[in-house]
Amino acid sequence: MEQSVKEILKHIGEDPTREGLLDTPRRVQKAWEFMCGGYKQDPKEIIQSALFKSSNKEMVIVKDIELYSTCEHHMLPIIGKAHVAYIPNGKVIGLSKIPRVVDVFSRRLQIQEQLTEQIADAINEAIEPEGVAVVIDARHMCMEMRGVQKICSTTITSALRGIFKKEKKTKDEFMSIISSSFHK
């Protein structure tokens, strides 16, 4: 990877041997290993590590989960927030595991639509709740830094499973709770 970064630097007209760039290939490699660390993690293991029996049947929401991902089309940042809800069916997840699941999928090359689906499906499959809802509100640097150059535009995606898809009032309750978090 370091050699590839040197080649990129040369290609854009830089000198990879100049002082400020000498360690850049190594730093870029470390950064990409971190930003794509989700490929080495299993969301099922994360969820299973903190799964508890519960009689709770009310909505559980973790909102405003910061996420940083990378667009698979241009390899530029996606920056946003995820809002995740589920209605337990005999099991609950340790609350800190929900942001960890978001990170697992965010730290891969992504499109936001797929990211939203992956988070919902992982939780749905692991705990078989009454329902799962995931909404992501994010900015895409591929739209802001290049191409259409629409600064501060956001994309909102949702994935609804179970009762959130079947019952409008459940979906509406979730959307009402998270709506104050959307970019304004």
Query: In the annotation, is 36 catalytic?
Result: no
Query: In the annotation, is 152 catalytic?
Result: no
- 41, 74, 114, 173: the active-site residue: 74
- 2, 14, 29, 71: the active-site residue: 71
- 73, 125, 167, 183: the active-site residue: 73
Query: In the annotation, is 11 catalytic?
Result: no
Distance (Å, rounded) from C-alpha 90 to C-alpha 61?
16
- 14, 142, 144, 173: the active-site residue: 142
Question: CA of 126: how far to CAs of 20, 87, 97, 105, in Å?
Answer: 47, 13, 12, 15
Query: In the annotation, is 71 catalytic?
Result: yes
- 83, 118, 130, 140: the active-site residue: 140
Query: In the annotation, is 183 catalytic?
Result: no
Query: In the annotation, is 140 catalytic?
Result: yes
- 45, 72, 113, 125: the active-site residue: 72
Question: CA of 47: how far to CAs of 21, 40, 52, 162, 163, in Å?
Answer: 41, 15, 10, 19, 21
Residue appearing with tokens 């692991």: 126
H helix or E strand, kind and range, residue 68: strand 60-71
Token pair of 123 as six digits: 């939780």
- 83, 110, 112, 118: the active-site residue: 112
Query: In the annotation, is 83 catalytic?
Result: no
Residue pair 137/75 in contact by the 8 Å Cβ criterion = no
Residue appearing with tokens 């179970």: 162
Distance (Å, rounded) from C-alpha 38 to C-alpha 103?
7
Please identify every residue annotated as catalytic: 71-74, 112, 140, 142
